[in-house]
Amino acid sequence: MSKILRIAIQKKGRLSEKSLAIIGQCGIKFGSDERVLKERATNFPLEFLYVRDDDIPSYVHDGVADIGIVGRNELDEQGLELAVLRDLGFSKCRLSIALPHDVPYTGLTSLEGMRIATSYPNILRSILAENGVKASFVEVSGSVELTPAVGIADAICDLVSTGATLAMNGLREVEQIYTSTAVMIGRKTMDRDEKRAILERLLLRIDAVMKAASYKYIMFNLPVEHIKAVSDLIGGLKSPTVTPLLEEGWVSMQSVVAEDRFWDVFEQLKALGAQGILVTPIEKMTE
Ligand code: PRT
Ligand code: ZN
């Protein structure tokens, strides 16, 4: 039987859609209408296992799946020895300490002796220990934000993305202790695994998709005298493409620009007399 790589993906939740989207952008085809528990890609040796996110680290650790996509928070909380193959960047959130509005806070030491409700006792314990703070934990698996109001905790430590849930529950975020994004994980011994070749093919595609997402393709017209200045400004994969325009003294230039530099570059191009600036997303990209 030919080798197949198994990936564990969250069945339903905050990670599911984006995990499948990134695999889809890799040109891998799959998808029954109703989400089954297990399915095979039709054009790549990949099999999907749809499971709860809490189970993903142990599935990968025990070899039920070869790789998985999970929040870094879940991985660190469980503390299993696994390799982070790629940081996929989505489902960004932070683990924060939050308190009722009337409880004063001057730093982590303010938590001394408090009862803190959390679903992340291991991460919290290590951070409090690093700071020499002693507190007791109330371990809950959901609705953490409710615990101060019902009197079973003095503070909470929970994941936050927009902060709306804290606000709705009369809590204020006082300290971010940890940040998380979705990561692709694998076993540390996978280097010697015969499925490694399939994984390498997948990672090559994922890198191209992620790289493309962090760049824009940009085209514009420019007075010839500014070619050098613009070229120094934007670089490009090798160097920008320059094509003459029929109108004398003008060229058309094309290049890629990193998303995080985009507005800066855009303003400087305008200042150098660039006209007709067109910007498009890039679907795939390698250097
Ligand atoms: O059923 P299953 O066990 O698979 O799913 P789950 O309910 O355990 O997990 P899910 O889908 O809620 O979250 C999966 C992963 O998404 C988490 O492990 C994080 O890595 C990531 N993530 C990103 C978040 C959030 N953002 C988030 N905001 N996980 C949870 N939340 C919760 C948080 O606990 C709080 O209750 O959302 C609330 C706060 O949101 P805001 O926007 O109001 O601040
Ligand atoms: Zn879960």
- On whether both 82 and 187 belong to a single domain, the answer is yes
CA-54 nearest atom, ligand 1: 3
Considering every ligand atom, which ligand is closest to the CA of 168? 1
Give ligand 1 pocket residues (Cβ under 6 A).
10, 13-15, 52-54, 71, 73-74, 91, 93, 158-165, 180
Identify the CATH number of the domain in which residue 275 sits.
Answer: 3.30.70.120
- On whether both 62 and 103 belong to a single domain, the answer is no
- On whether both 198 and 170 belong to a single domain, the answer is no
For the stretch 167-197, pLDDT in tens is 999 999 999 999 999 999 999 987 666 799 9
Closest by Cα among 94, 89, 147 to 116: 147
Protein residue with its CA nearest to atom 2 in ligand 1:
52
- Beta-carbon contacts of 219 under 8 Å, excluding residues fewer than 6 positions away, are 252, 253, 254, 276, 277, 278, 279, 280
Within a domain: 287: no
Identify the CATH number of the domain in which residue 102 sits.
Answer: 3.40.190.10
Task: Please give the pLDDT value at position 32.
Answer: 66
Task: Please give the pLDDT value at position 208.
Answer: 95
The number of domains in the chain is 3
Compute, in angstroms, the gap from residue 132 CA to the centroid of ligand 1.
28
- On whether both 97 and 170 belong to a single domain, the answer is yes
Task: Please give the pLDDT value at position 31.
Answer: 86
- Beta-carbon contacts of 272 under 8 Å, excluding residues fewer than 6 positions away, are 222, 226, 229, 230, 233
Pocket test for ligand 1, best of 78, 84, 93 (most atoms within 8 A of CB): 93
Within a domain: 21: yes
Q: Which token pair is 111?
A: 């938590």
CA 7, 9, 13: angle at the middle one, nearest 5?
175
Task: Please give the pLDDT value at position 287.
Answer: 78
Within a domain: 249: yes
**Which positions of the chain have pLDDT values less than 50?**
none
Closest by Cα among 217, 223, 220, 236 to 277: 220
Compute, in angstroms, the gap from residue 102 CA to the centroid of ligand 2.
31
For the stretch 100-148, pLDDT in tens is 999 999 999 999 999 999 999 999 999 999 999 999 999 999 999 999 9
Domain that holds residue 46: 5-90+182-212
Task: Please give the pLDDT value at position 34.
Answer: 65
